[in-house]
A and B are shown apart, each in its own frame.
Chain A
């Protein structure tokens, strides 16, 4: 069990550029989640996948955000035309198909800074 991994760990970009983050969940986990965390706050839910299906999207996920999980394994989160307000830590989590457990395990996050 290697845990949830995220790449890159840090990303600095200029306003208006596109960025893409990757998340690799724990191998046997079929559920994958994206959260956004700003400084001093708790994480806020963005979106959720079960296998390759995107089942839920938050209102926080504007049209500039898109997430995919093409083969039900890793996931990517893309932000187009970045804005300074997008600066945050983007966290990925995964959980088991065992509904009773349903414990989410988090990756180290990708810190995005938009200049």
Chain B
């Protein structure tokens, strides 16, 4: 079985500042992918960033970057220059090659951006 844990139910950040959301996971598979999804109040789940476990280089998408620590099974998301539109629920998710093609999600972190 695979698990994903997000230990921060809520976070807040000042506009233009940087915030880091934490995620830890557990899987027995060696080949897997990690994702961060964003779910704004409209509730459409949007992909933010993806990391392949076989890649050592941390993924980056514009203002979003990850810190992938494979040995520690940690996958944090850093949002730089936070904007009001970044306010949303953020979910960390894992899919393993050896399991069914299902995403396992964490419980989410509600991010508030303060003007």
Which A residues have a C-beta under 8 Å from some C-beta of B?
31, 33, 35, 40-45, 48, 50, 55-56, 58, 89, 91, 93, 95, 99-100, 102-109
Contact = CB atoms under 8 A, between A and B. Distances in A.
A44 B91 CA distance: 12
Contact of B100 (A40, A56, A109): A56
B106 to A, nearest CB: 6
Interface of B: 4, 33, 35, 37, 42-47, 50, 52, 91, 93, 95, 97, 100-108
A44 B102 CA distance: 9
Contacts of A95: 101
Contacts of A35: 103
CB-CB nearest 9 A-B residue pairs: A42-B105, A56-B100, A106-B45, A45-B102, A108-B44, A42-B91, A43-B105, A48-B101, A42-B107
Contacts of B105: 42-44
B45 A43 contact: yes
Contacts of B103: 33, 35, 43, 45, 93, 104
Nearest to A56: B100
B106 A42 contact: yes
